[in-house]
Structure 1
Amino acid sequence: MSLQLSPYLVMNGDGREAIQFYEKALDAEILFNQSLGEMCENSDYPIPAEAKEFVGYASLKIGDSILRVSDSHPGQPHQVGNQVTICISTDDEEKTQRIFEALQDNGQVKMPIQQTPISPSYGIVTDKFGVTFQIYTKINL
């Protein structure tokens, strides 16, 4: 079973600019980049026209590491200083669920485990130390 940790940056509408910056500054290679409009076009949560070009999900390879980037969804608060989370990916839905449940002990669930366009099991939890984790089961992106 695979388990991987990577930083996840949540930007405030300037995700495309951040990706371009990291491409140049860190010699990043874009592995995947999908707009919020593309990602949510058949969603129960319609995206306002002004946010359709925001970054829905991007994955950048920097050296031997992966950096994940997205813009915050419309209506979600964005606070500078809290825009970096840790992304935990597994290749097993049961393992994803176990990790999520363990981290929520005395923490706060931001998004319960659920199926999303990028994963069959995805959730967000802030642990009792105030560290926010995005936990998901991998699909090929």
Structure 2
Amino acid sequence: MSLRLTPYFVMNGNAQDAIAFYERALGATPLFKQTFGEMPENPDFPLPESAKSLVSHAMIRIGESDIMFSDTFPGQEVKAGNQVTICITLGDAEEAARIFNALAYGGTIEMPLQETFFSSAYGTLTDKFGIPFQIFTEGKM
């Protein structure tokens, strides 16, 4: 049996901005994107005009990992929190610093990137979209 975990980010109307941000910061490759307006129409549930340009489903690839996105449907609530953390594992401290700084732009640094007893470069931050990240450099344990 094959099993794969894929983080799914539910955004508050800014999924397209988040995808573009991760393309720049992490070199992400877009794999799929569909808006609510591109979905088949359902006469029982008419789509508000304000929802047509919102992302109904998207997927990007970063390195060997995929992340999925959608915007909430109008009227649904998004709650940002720290219950999902994305750990980016690298083998190079310089690349870790580049990624850390790119993701920190407009976000909040909880623990600056630094050498620890378990990593040559480790830090935590929450990006400008409220997504918490850990940056971990392998090789010190």
Q: TM-score range by the shorter chain?
A: 0.5 to 0.7
Partner in structure 2 of residue 128 of structure 1: none
Unaligned runs of at least 5 residues, structure 2? 86-141
Partner in structure 2 of residue 7 of structure 1: 7
Partner in structure 1 of residue 71 of structure 2: 71
Unaligned runs of at least 5 residues, structure 1? 86-141
Structure 1 contact 11–83 (Cα < 8 Å) conserved: no
Change (3 A) 1:70 1:16: same
The runs of at least 4 aligned residues of structure 1 exceeding 6 Å deviation read none
Cα separation, 2, equivalents of 1:84 and 1:48: 30
Cα separation, 2, equivalents of 1:71 and 1:7: 14
Cα separation, 2, equivalents of 1:28 and 1:4: 19
Cα distance, 1:40 vs structure 2: 4.7
Partner in structure 1 of residue 80 of structure 2: 80
Change (3 A) 1:43 1:72: farther
Structure 1 contact 11–70 (Cα < 8 Å) conserved: yes
Cα separation, 2, equivalents of 1:58 and 1:80: 19
Cα distance, 1:65 vs structure 2: 0.3
CA RMSD of aligned residues (A): 2.4
* Sequence identity (%): 54
TM superposition score normalised by structure 1: 0.54
Higher strand content, 1 or 2: 1
Cα distance, 1:31 vs structure 2: 0.4
Deviation per CA, 1:79-114, whole angstroms, max 9, x where unpaired?
1227959xxxxxxxxxxxxxxxxxxxxxxxxxxxxx
